[in-house]
Amino acid sequence: MNHLLDLETYPLDRPDSPGYAALVERCRADLATHGMFNLPGFLKEGVAQKAADAATPAMETVSFRHARWHNVYFRDDMPGIETNHPAMVQSQTVNHTLTADQLEGNPVLEVYEWQPFADFLAATMGKPQLYQMADRMARVNVQATRAGEGLNWHFDRSEFTTTILLQAPEIGGQLEYRKDLRTADNPNYDGVAALLAGEDPDVRQIMPEPGALNVFRGVNTPHRVVPVQGPRDRITAIFSYYETPGVMFSAEEQKGFYGRTAG
């Protein structure tokens, strides 16, 4: 894995070393303070662009254009508020997705399947163990966001999102977020409405550089990708692990996310 990852800076291959323990502790602290950790240069120089270039022919021919209108919850109704509440306003998200079965030979699959990577993520998240998905489509996705497109405000369904930016656009594409806007006990609908109206002073923004590993705690932190401008796509690899083995998307979920089923 030394040909893909900077294991001198990030010693994932040496889990018993002091450097590994310090890295995990730093990532945990960043998750607690910022709701994310970001590791620049996680992929060695040139690897991110190689992965983006390898995905480009399929992205241009067989990727699924996923366009949908949604609110921040991805739900038609929420307990305790009316559907016309400002927190329920809808916006459009558009992206283009390649699934793992369309990425044969891409370096991102090799990273995903390397067990020390999953073990490291589990350690940073405080999980006993993380397992690769059994779903041959959903386990790794590569998404492209093109000019005029973006990922609009939403809360994640999963606790953590793990991504590596493979290619940055010329303009736009930043990750914008508002840490811990809600809690399990307080949905803070008025706070969500203020965020959507552009009236939240605590919104922050980050633009990871290509090759950076970003782990984001998005279940209570709403976030969006600022719309891309220019001819250069924003291309991101998304890695999906679960706390139980054998996880599969339903045929309905596969159809909704990818426009087809694995069967």
pLDDT tens digits, 54-111: 999 999 999 999 988 999 998 889 998 999 999 999 999 899 999 999 999 999 999 9
Low-confidence ranges of the chain (pLDDT < 70): 263
Contacts of 104 (CB under 8 A, 6+ apart): none
What CA–CA distances, in Å, run from 14 to 17, 44, 107, 119?
6, 18, 21, 11
pLDDT at residue number 263: 65
What token pair was written down for 31?
Answer: 């998750």
Asked if 81 and 87 count as a contact pair (C-beta separation under 8 A), the reply is yes
Q: Give the separation between CA 189 and CA 41, rounded to whole angstroms.
A: 38
Residue spans of the domains in the chain: they are 18-258
Neighbours of 55 (CB within 10 A): 23
- Type of residue found at 120: F
Give, to the nearest 10 degrees, the angle between helix 115-125 and helix 18-34: 50
Burial class of residue 104, CB neighbours in 10 A (0-12, 13-18, 19+): exposed
- The domain defined by 18-258 folds into Jelly Rolls (2.60.120)
Question: What SS3 state is found at 224?
Answer: strand
pTM over 0.85: yes
